[in-house]
Amino acid sequence: MLVLNVCQAPVGHGVLMGGFHGKWMSAEAAAQAQVSRESLESLGGTLGAGIILPLGEDTCPLGEVTRVVHYLAGQSAGQCGPCRMGLPDLARAVAMLADGSGGRGAVDAIRAAAGAVRGRGACSHPDGTAQFALSALETFVADVEAHIKHDGCGQPTRNVLPLPVEETGTGVRLAVDWARCDGHGLCAHIVPELIRLDGNGYPSFPDSPVPPWLEAEATKAVRMCPALALRLNTGDRKGPGR
């Protein structure tokens, strides 16, 4: 893609075409592409919003994808089931792939969560978010394998992809004191849109701000935790939440 050469922008692991509701393209595909709908679609990409974001070589692809999917899950208006419940599921599955805790099953979980929201939302936000996540699986094959087999790729997540609200911003986040948590599972019954139980019966939730429409339920889950292990943190990311 000539425009990347002119800008002296290293492609690295891949290029995001079309913004956060767009698709990832490999460096090889991007090198052949022209900036047109026909050319990009023929190579598996999309023009979308016309935004071109090369990832570079010194950041973790799945770490970047996780940040964006968490952000997109929090941007839902909460007016339909696919957004309200499906996008947090997708964010959770992507995070489990990135941190290695989900193993190969995390890939299946991402595909299942994306399939459950595509074409079912009241708007196209779930479709765009699902497309973003699924194209990452297709583009970053080697990185996916590294995270499955070695719990990571060895590269830090450098926050290359720009977010309007960074992880250091304001907002409330769930956190768990793992020294107290006994895996009662009550929290997952109180706010299933946000908290699910992992394979060992312990709570798992996206490391992103609690959506405003779920704050009341999240507060209720904190108050009803039998072990007093669940809490809400306000402000930047601190504490042992996962």
Q: Per-residue pLDDT tens for 12-25? A: 789 999 999 999 99
Digit-coded pLDDT (tens) for 133-155: 999 999 999 999 999 999 899 99
What are the distances in angstroms from CA 57 to CA 25, 66, 91, 150, 161?
14, 17, 24, 19, 13
Handedness of CA 242, 130, 105, 143 (dihedral sign): negative
Residues 69 and 145 in one domain: yes
Which carries the bigger pLDDT value, residue 9 or residue 218? 218
Domain C-terminal end among 54, 73, 90: 54
For position 140, what pLDDT does the model report?
97
**Same domain as 101, residue 23:** no
Q: What six digits make up the tokens of 151? A: 């719990």
Instruction: Look at residue 158 and tell me if it is in a domain.
Output: no
Q: 187 and 126: one domain?
A: no
Query: pLDDT per residue over 187-208, tens digit each?
Result: 999 998 888 888 788 998 877 7
Q: Is residue 176 part of a domain?
A: yes
* Residue 84, domain member (yes or no): yes
Q: How confident is the model at residue 241 (pLDDT cuts 50, 70, 90)?
A: very low
For the CA atoms of 30, 34, 40, 42, what is the dihedral angle to 10 degrees? -100
| Residue 76 sits in the same domain as residue 118 | yes
Structural contact between residues 171 and 210, judged by C-beta atoms closer than 8 angstroms = yes
CA-to-CA dists, residue 209 to 25, 32, 70, 194, 212, angstroms = 29, 39, 9, 11, 9
Task: Specify the pLDDT at position 107.
Answer: 97
Give residue 113's domain range.
61-150
User: Would 162 be classed as within a structural domain?
Assistant: no
Average of per-residue pLDDT values in the chain: 87
Say if 76 falls within a structural domain: yes
Domain contains 163: no
78: left (phi over 0), alpha (psi -120 to 50) or beta: left
CATH number of the domain enclosing 210: 3.30.70.20
Cα–Cα distance measured from residue 20 to residue 26, given in angstroms and rounded to the nearest whole number: 16
Domain boundary among 11, 27, 54: 54
Task: State both tokens at 73.
Answer: 């899950």
Helix runs in the chain, H state only? 2-6, 27-32, 37-42, 61-74, 81, 87-98, 105-117, 125-139, 141-150, 186-190, 215-224
Same domain (yes/no): 111, 46: no
Total count of domains within the chain: 3
Q: Does 161 reside within a domain? A: no
Q: Is residue 19 part of a domain?
A: yes
pTM above the 0.75 mark?
yes
Whether 180 shows a pLDDT value over 60: the answer reads yes
Query: What are the structure tokens assigned to 27, written together?
Result: 């460096």
pLDDT at 127 over 50: yes
